[in-house]
């Protein structure tokens, strides 16, 4: 068989085979293109540009799950630490707001495509923040050795400047230390103490991890009665009436200190934060005075009437 007969014989089938081969060639992937591989992992969420006058009071999510696609050659260099989700809070205001989490929020390495993000939105609650300078009260527990009493408590520093949400900080009059035990002590002591900060309240200045307390001891204490101590109300949402507005207290402390104390040295408050409209009776208000002084007894009991009328209506 010569070449001419070989070409002419079964020519329709040969033409069809050529056309099919051209179609396959056209649809075949380019040798330079690599197959894409999909991966899924968690990446951390960063909240940026929060206005200094605001605080996040909700519990924001700390990570999101993302699904990404990349080539086989880039896959070996891919690691979750190279990704980050960034939520820009520059436009935040008091209240709640929902922020969408899209591909634009995800920082990725080159040649990576983000296919899916879960969750795809974040709901945040914001509140105005305030600054406040507060005195620090040293909390003491236990009794010193017989015949001795606390004569003086010195704390360095005595005050601390803090900031935090209005709801957490507005009613705070002072900060307290972790309890210091003086059980059986008969001589002056110096020790490191830690400050207890309310939730979401942080120090501005100073910022030590601990403070220094010096506790001095003197002779056996005496008892002394103080009368007509005024009562203050804090965290008041509703119109509130109390009776009586003043009370009496029996205090125990160093003789020299008690003899020099004035009524103004004793702070007495009723915290109305959790009081709903209704009638209540309490035995004693919250009393703040010198650390060396203990409250032994208070009288009379106090009647409280919380009216169904908000103060700022």
Mean pLDDT value of segment 35-39? 78
CATH number of 36-128: 2.170.120.30
Task: Tell me what percent of the residues of the chain surpass a pLDDT of 90.
Answer: 43
- Ramachandran sector of residue 235 (left: φ over 0; alpha: ψ -120 to 50; beta: rest): left
**pLDDT at residue 55, rounded to an integer:** 87
Mean pLDDT value of segment 34-46? 82
| Least confident residue range of 69-73, 113-117, 183-187, 286-290 | 69-73
Q: Domain 138-219, what fold?
A: RNA Polymerase Alpha Subunit; Chain A, domain 2 (2.170.120)
Mean pLDDT value of segment 70-97? 84
| Least confident residue range of 29-33, 90-94, 175-179, 257-261 | 29-33
The 10s digit of each residue's pLDDT in 227-280 is 999 999 999 999 999 999 999 999 998 887 888 899 999 999 999 988 999 999
The 10s digit of each residue's pLDDT in 195-226 is 999 888 988 887 776 789 999 887 777 899 99
pLDDT-derived band at 36, boundaries 50, 70, 90: confident
d(Cα 221, Cα 150) in Å, to the nearest integer? 8
Are 232 and 263 in contact by the 8 Å Cβ rule? The answer is: no
Are 64 and 118 in contact by the 8 Å Cβ rule? The answer is: yes
**pLDDT at residue 2, rounded to an integer:** 46
Q: Half-sphere exposure (CA, 13 Å, Cβ side) for 176?
A: 12
Q: Which residues pair with 229 in a beta bridge?
A: 247
* Matching fold, domains 36-128 and 222-310: yes
Average pLDDT, the chain: 84
d(Cα 71, Cα 68) in Å, to the nearest integer? 10
**pLDDT at residue 32, rounded to an integer:** 46
The torsion angles phi and psi of 27, rounded to 5 degrees, stand at -90, -15
pTM confidence score: 0.50
Name the residue among 183, 186, 180, 132 with its Cα closest to residue 153: 180
Rg for the chain, CA atoms, rounded: 36
Written as six digits, the tokens of 62 are 């700390």
Q: Is the pLDDT of residue 179 over 60?
A: yes
Mean pLDDT value of segment 163-180? 89
The 10s digit of each residue's pLDDT in 104-138 is 998 888 888 888 999 999 999 999 999 999 999 99
What residues does each domain of the chain span? 36-128, 138-219, 222-310
Q: Is the pLDDT of residue 62 over 80?
A: yes
Looking at the domain covering 222-310, what would its CATH class be? mainly beta
Task: Tell me what percent of the residues of the chain surpass a pLDDT of 70.
Answer: 88
Mean pLDDT value of segment 33-58? 84
| Least confident residue range of 11-25, 65-79, 130-144, 217-231 | 11-25
């Amino acid at each position: 068989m010569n070449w001419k007969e070989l070409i002419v014989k079964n020519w329709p089938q040969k033409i069809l085979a050529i056309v099919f081969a051209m179609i396959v060639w056209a649809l075949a992937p380019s040798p330079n293109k690599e197959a894409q591989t999909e991966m899924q992992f968690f990446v951390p969420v960063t909240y940026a540009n929060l206005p200094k006058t605001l605080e996040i009071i909700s519990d924001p999510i700390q990570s999101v799950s993302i699904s990404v696609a990349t080539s086989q050659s880039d896959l070996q260099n891919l690691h979750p630490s190279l990704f980050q989700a960034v939520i820009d809070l520059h436009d935040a205001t008091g209240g709640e707001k929902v922020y969408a989490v899209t591909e634009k929020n995800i920082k990725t390495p080159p040649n990576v495509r983000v296919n899916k993000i879960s969750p795809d939105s974040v709901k945040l609650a914001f509140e105005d923040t305030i600054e406040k300078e507060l005195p620090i009260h040293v909390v003491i527990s236990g009794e010193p050795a017989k015949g001795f009493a606390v004569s003086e408590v010195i704390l360095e520093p005595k005050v601390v400047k803090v900031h935090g949400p209005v709801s957490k900080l507005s009613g705070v009059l002072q900060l307290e230390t972790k309890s210091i035990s003086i059980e059986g002590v008969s001589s002056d002591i110096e020790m490191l103490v830690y400050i207890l900060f309310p939730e979401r309240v942080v120090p501005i200045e100073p910022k030590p991890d601990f403070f220094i307390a010096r506790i001095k001891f003197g002779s056996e204490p005496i008892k002394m009665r103080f009368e007509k101590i005024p009562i203050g109300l804090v965290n008041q949402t509703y119109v509130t009436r109390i009776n009586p507005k003043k009370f009496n207290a029996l205090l125990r402390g160093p003789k020299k200190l008690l003899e020099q104390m004035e009524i103004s040295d004793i702070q007495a408050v009723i915290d109305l934060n959790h009081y709903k409209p209704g009638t209540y009776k309490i035995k004693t208000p919250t009393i703040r005075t010198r650390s060396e002084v203990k409250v032994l007894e208070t009288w009379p009991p106090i009647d409280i009437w919380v009216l169904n009328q908000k103060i700022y209506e």
